[in-house]
């Protein structure tokens, strides 16, 4: 293992030329790999893949330079980047943390943070772990979904910063900045609550909206000739991978239920306005919703 | 008024060079005007605008060649294209139909069709009216929102085709085809039901989702630093204009309520799966939703 990252006098990532191991070379891991190589953050990228066909695929797509088993990959890496479904992350991360030394950095990119941070809080190497959530994604998954220039302009949350080694955090911060992200700091509980509002609920409403329309389609085929732009944008997340999202919803169950209850109650207000033919109330609800312009450009 | 359109031997629109009057030069009317001029469908375009500032704006933006009062504009036009909020459409259309002769064509572009078709069904000039719904739009409104190359690749619904003059329908069909749309034919009741599923409900869920998040924002500002791609795409319709959408929801109240009830019941399934920590059911719901891939490219 190279020891470039213990030279803390120079934090410009371009000089690091790190050996990076990507555990889970899919949408997030693959996009991270592509950009890290392109930006000169990574000198050498090792992929760790579960399935035989994925190993072939990630090499063909040139997302990584080589594919190795986890233990071997870790030995050769300065930084280990974990981007697998959040339920598997908890156990895989335990294995990884048991293998790293005090010069290596472990980063995860999962959409939930509390369960993982809790699981690792007493690990002797806890300080080598930086908990992050780069808030970018698409409805696609797997190595074919990886794209260059992902992450740009999006927020990356770093959780429980004070539990990680200062220099490890600084390096991870610099990497995400190089990728074009702005950083937000939160405790893991706060992250999970916010993520429920700005990401998890959007996926649930999309899934539910798709099911609403598909339910009707049993009776009527014509619907599909009409699907236009507005429909596409509200329903596209319904194409997302259940293997990725079910564990997120389960780990963040309480927050997601809170938001889901609030959302159902907001929908009921529209229902009530329509049932009572209350045009003023309907307008009031929509005018309030228009305030979202403050946030969306 | 020129009588180009009674020469039915040649239906190629490019040869028509119509005088077109646009009643309501906003997102839809303005985009129609731009493209009609660009494609050589229109020789001369007259705007009819309600508000003084809009008159200036549509001339400045070169959406129309001149702005005239409704009656004068109709006299000079082969085709009258109505694109105003659906509640106002009903009364304005009565006025227009009373003014047109049996060579002129009246087209509306509203998002609901049943109430309007009912209102006009016994009008002596009914055959000069072609009821259409070009299924394109954005969350923006007004003349500044008009864009060239709108409509391309989208469906345009033509309702109650058999109640319109055959030649009038043929001309309108050709115009929409020139704009790059594919045509779908429906009775007005069927249209309104389908529109509730593929368009109106998407807007309601977006408005409600925005309200859900804004409700939370009262407590926590950090949410807004995190808003990313998925959130943007499911919430962007919440920026839509209440003055356009309230009348649509009210006119299509029964269908919208049906879909809204179904949607709430689909959301409750997710709620139940989470409450019972039923991972299999959760996966089942999402896998079913994934079938939407059949429809969305």
Name the average pLDDT for chain A.
Answer: 91
Decide: helix, strand or coil at residue B65. coil
Nearest-Cα residue of chain A relative to residue B199: A231
**Residue A15: pLDDT over 70:** no
Beta bridge partners of A111: none
- The per-residue pLDDT for B227 is 74
**Residue A189: pLDDT over 90:** yes
**Residue A82: pLDDT over 90:** yes
**Residue A248: pLDDT over 80:** yes
> Which of A207, A253, A274 lies closest to B274 in CB terms?
A253
Structural domain of residue B287, as residue ranges?
Answer: 191-294
Please check whether residues A122 and A247 belong to one and the same domain.
no
Question: How far is CA B96 from each of CA B49, B83, B173, rounded to the nearest angstrom?
Answer: 14, 13, 21
Contact yes or no for A212 and B262 at CB 8 A: yes
Contact yes or no for B209 and A205 at CB 8 A: yes
Residues of chain B positioned with their CB less than 8 A from the CB of A137: 228-230
- The per-residue pLDDT for B220 is 58
Decide: helix, strand or coil at residue B221. coil
State the pTM of this model.
0.90
A222/chain B closest Cα distance in angstroms: 8
Residues of chain B positioned with their CB less than 8 A from the CB of A209: 201-202, 205, 263, 266
B232/chain A closest Cα distance in angstroms: 7
Query: Count of A–B CB contacts within 8 Å?
Result: 299
Phi, psi of A69 (to 5 degrees): -65, 155
Domain C-terminal end among B140, B156, B186: B186
- The per-residue pLDDT for A226 is 80
Q: Which of A6-10, B106-110, B192-196, B235-239 has the highest mean pLDDT?
A: B106-110
Distance CA A251, CA A112 (A): 7
8-state DSSP, B29: H
Nearest-Cα residue of chain A relative to residue B206: A234
Q: In what order do the strands lie in the sheet with B79-82?
A: B66-67, B42-48, B18-23, B79-82, B105-108, B129-134, B155-159, B182-186
Could you give the percent of chain B with pLDDT greater than 70? 92
Please check whether residues A177 and A199 belong to one and the same domain.
no
Please check whether residues B239 and B182 belong to one and the same domain.
no
Contacts of A28 (CB under 8 A, 6+ apart): A83, A109, A134, A136, A137, A150
Contact yes or no for A296 and B235 at CB 8 A: yes
> Which of B203, B234, B262 lies closest to A202 in CB terms?
B234
User: What's the pLDDT band for A225 if we cut at 50, 70, 90?
Assistant: confident
Please check whether residues B133 and B205 belong to one and the same domain.
no
How many distinct structural domains can be found in chain B?
2
Contact yes or no for B222 and A184 at CB 8 A: yes
Which of A101-105, A119-123, A253-257, B12-16 is the least confident region?
B12-16
Nearest-Cα residue of chain B relative to residue A232: B296
pLDDT tens digits along B200-225: 999 999 999 999 998 886 665 666 67
Residues of chain A positioned with their CB less than 8 A from the CB of B201: 209, 212-213
Could you give the percent of chain B with pLDDT greater than 90? 81
**Which domain CATH number covers B247?**
1.10.3660.10
- The per-residue pLDDT for A4 is 47
* N-terminal to C-terminal alpha carbon distance within chain A: 45
pLDDT tens digits along A167-185: 999 999 999 999 999 999 9
> Which of B135, B237, B293 lies closest to A226 in CB terms?
B135
pLDDT tens digits along A97-134: 999 999 999 999 999 999 999 999 999 999 999 999 99
- The per-residue pLDDT for B221 is 66
Domain C-terminal end among B186, B210, B231: B186
**Residue B258: pLDDT over 60:** yes
Kindly write down the DSSP assignment for every residue of B232-289, as one continuous string: HHHHGGGGS-HHHHHHHHHHTHHHHHHHHHHHHHHHHHHHHHHHTT-HHHHHHHHHHH
User: What's the pLDDT band for A10 if we cut at 50, 70, 90?
Assistant: very low
Please check whether residues B168 and B212 belong to one and the same domain.
no
Distance CA A57, CA B132 (A): 48
User: What's the pLDDT band for A222 if we cut at 50, 70, 90?
Assistant: low
**Residue A76: pLDDT over 80:** yes
**Residue B4: pLDDT over 60:** no
- The per-residue pLDDT for A201 is 95
Please check whether residues A90 and A144 belong to one and the same domain.
yes
Report the pLDDT averaged over residues A277-295: 94
pLDDT tens digits along A131-168: 999 999 999 999 999 999 899 999 999 999 999 999 99
Report the pLDDT averaged over residues B82-106: 97
Kindly write down the DSSP assignment for every residue of A21-75, as one continuous string: EEES-SHHHHHHHHHHHHTTSEEEEEEE-SSHHHHHHHHHTTS-SEE--HHHHHH
**Which domain CATH number covers A27?**
3.40.50.720
Domain C-terminal end among A186, A219, A247: A186
């Amino acid at each position: 293992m190279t020891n470039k990252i213990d030279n803390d006098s120079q934090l410009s990532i371009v000089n690091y030329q790190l050996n990076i191991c990507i555990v889970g070379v899919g949408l997030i891991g693959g996009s991270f790999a592509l950009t890290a190589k392109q930006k000169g953050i990574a000198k050498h990228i090792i992929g760790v893949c579960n399935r035989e066909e994925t190993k072939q695929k990630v090499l063909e797509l040139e997302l990584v330079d080589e594919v190795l088993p986890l233990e071997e990959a870790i030995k050769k890496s300065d930084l280990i980047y974990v981007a697998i479904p959040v339920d598997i992350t908890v156990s895989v991360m335990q294995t990884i943390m048991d293998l790293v030394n005090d010069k290596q950095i472990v980063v995860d990119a999962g959409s939930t943070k509390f369960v993982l941070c809790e699981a690792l809080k007493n690990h002797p190497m806890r300080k080598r772990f930086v908990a992050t959530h780069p808030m970018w994604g698409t409805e696609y998954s797997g190595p074919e979904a990886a794209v260059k220039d992902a992450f740009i302009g999006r927020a990356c949350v770093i959780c429980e910063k004070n539990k990680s080694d200062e220099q490890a955090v600084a390096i991870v911060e610099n990497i995400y900045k190089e990728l074009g992200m702005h950083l937000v700091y939160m405790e893991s509980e706060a992250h999970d609550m916010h993520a429920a509002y700005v990401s998890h609920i959007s996926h649930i409403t999309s899934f539910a909206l798709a099911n609403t329309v598909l339910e009707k389609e049993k009776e009527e085929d014509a619907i599909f000739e009409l699907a236009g732009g507005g429909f596409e944008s509200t329903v596209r997340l319904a194409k997302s991978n259940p293997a990725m999202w079910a564990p997120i919803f389960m780990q963040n169950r309480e927050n997601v239920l809170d938001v889901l209850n609030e959302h159902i109650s907001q929908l009921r207000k529209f229902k009530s306005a329509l049932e009572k033919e209350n045009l003023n109330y309907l307008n009031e609800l929509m005018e309030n919703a228009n305030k979202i312009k403050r946030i969306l450009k």
